[in-house]
Structure formats: C-alpha cells, structure tokens
A = this chain, B = another copy of it.
Amino acid sequence: MSVLVVGSTALDSIKTPCRLNPRLLGGSASHAAVAASFFAPVKLVGIVGDDFPRRYIQLYRRHGIDLGGLQLASGKTFHWAGEYEVNMNNRRTLTTELGVFETFTPNLPEAYRQTPFVLLANIAPALQHQVLNQMRRPRFVVADTMDLWLNIALDDLLKLLRRVDALVLNDSEARQLTQEDNIIAAAKKIHRLGPKYAIVKKGEHGALLSSPGGMFISPAFPLNKVVDPTGAGDSFVGGMVGYLAGRSRGAPDAHLKRGMIYGSVVASFCCEGFGLTRTTRLTREAIEQRARLLERMVRF
C-alpha cells in the first residue's frame, strides 16, 4: 500500500565544524519521502520555487516518488540554514526563509485522496489539517511536529492530535507538550490528547513507543561518527511509516515496533552523510543488513 507524505520541501545550508554545505535537498517531507520509498510507493505533497534544482526533482523520481502533489510556484524555495556544534547534538538555526511556503495551500490530486497511510511530516499544523481534510478515511495517520509549533501554533496542534493515530516528537518536545519532566510519564500523558500511539524520539538513545500494548524500547543504531544529523528524525518516521505501508497483512499497529527499527536504521544512514547524500544511495538490502545487525545488538 502507498504512503502520502506532506511536509517541508526545502533547501538546507548546513554548517558543521568541518564543512559548509550550501543548498542541499532538505525538508521534512524530502527526508521522510525518500526514507519511506525503500518500503512502499510514496506520494509527495509540498511546494518548491523556481530556484529548485532540477537534479533534486530527478532524485525524487529515482526513488519512484509520485510528484503529482508537488507544486512548482514562482518565488524562492523554503531555505533553512543551521550550524552544528562539535558534539553534533546542539544545533542553531541561522536562517529560515519560508519563500513559497508562506502562501502554500496544499491541494491534493484526486488520486492522492484514498492513500491508506498518511504521514504528516513536520510542518505547520494548519497545513497538516488541510491535507487531512482532503483525505478519505485513511487507514493510519502519523503526525510529526517540532517545538516551533508548540510555541506558536499549540491550539492547531492540539486539534490535530485528536485526528491522528500516532504522534512522533522528540523528548524535549514531549516534556513541553505534557508539562511533565519524566519522559515515560510524558509519553503516557500524550494518549489523553488523542493519539493511541505516542513515539518519543531520543536521538542517539533511540526512541520509545507507548501504546495500548505497553511500552517498546527502540534502539538507535550505534554510529562511530555522525557526519550530519539533519533529517534523521524525518528519516526515522518516514522509514517507519513506509515499513507499515509495505506490510499489507494485519493491523498497522502490529508492525509498528519493527517499523521503528527500520526507521532507526534509515535514520542512522542519514546521519552518515550531509543532507540526503547517503540516504539516496541506499538499497533495501543494505537496510535489511543493518536491521539484522541492530537486532543482534539487542538480543540477549
């Protein structure tokens, strides 16, 4: 089955202690869509400006991503610039230029509206609502978000939470959303806001799932060296939802745990290159191999 992915389609300028990489393909939807594409057909919803390099369109196409919902507008593509510290955990946003996203109204092609799996990747909750409004009874809806929306669009986000099956967010966002310092308690509180499944990302420490079936502790794949963590969270959720869509039998939640493992694996590859440079060279076999390695590292 296929996955609809909406989120930001952007150009990222990423500065690390070693390198500056201007205008890489980035954005939550780009990372999530490419990650999901290894497991299931993907339909992309987003907007780019007339400065968007043709080679990035080709990159989406190489991954078989349906671009019927990608608007090409006159103006500038969303541009984000950020800088990482030496430890690669702390990052600072240098620039956020919304460009064509400022006036974006997602308008889904007819063929998109029955997509069974919907990934509302990180973007303004109002846009996530607009996409959901156009869908016909999706099987499983996952939303990702970020601290920015907790700060400036909390009401929209809270309304959204009542419409999704699963919420994905990082540990500090989970604390902020629930006003709860302990992240286990925070994860459990999220259910009261709507989502049946709460997934808390902890970066290099993995992720936690709180579900009606109990907690699941998902490991991160241990990396000796992180080149660029930008998009790792988006890759995680993209790989996870892609995996769910790729399993045609059984309830989606039955596959969620293994989906998190595959999400972690794609996220680990993402961190090994700037932007999407490593992820885009992946094969399903390389993913399977690392998933087996990871599985061995948690067995006892």
Contact = CB atoms under 8 A, between A and B. Distances in A.
Contacts of A216: 297-298, 300
Interface stretch (A43-51, A62-70, A114-122, A178-186): A178-186
A217 B219 contact: yes
Contacts of A182: 223-226
Nearest to A217: B219
Contacts of A298: 216-217, 219, 298
Most chain B Cβ neighbours within 10 Å, of A183, A260, A297, A300: A300
Contact of A300 (B205, B224, B257): B257
Contacts of A258: 300
A202 interface: yes
Nearest to A85: B181
A86 interface: yes
Most chain B Cβ neighbours within 10 Å, of A182, A188, A225: A182
A188 B87 contact: no
Contacts of A260: 300
B223 A87 contact: no
Q: Give the number of times this chain occurs in the complex, counting copies.
A: 2
Contacts of A261: 300
A222 B184 contact: yes
A33 interface: no
A208 interface: yes
A214 B86 contact: no
Given A205-B202, A215-B297, A222-B217, A86 B181 contact: yes
A249 interface: no
Contacts of A223: 182, 184
A296 interface: yes
A181 B224 CA distance: 10
B225 A185 contact: yes
Given A86-B181, A182-B226, 5 more contacts: A88-B181, A185-B224, A185-B225, A202-B205, A257-B300
Contacts of A295: 300
A222 B208 contact: yes
A256 to B, nearest CB: 9
Contacts of A218: 300
Most chain B Cβ neighbours within 10 Å, of A225, A261, A297: A297
Most chain B Cβ neighbours within 10 Å, of A86, A181, A223, A261: A181
A214 B297 contact: yes
Interface string A202-246: 101110100000111111001111100000000000000000000
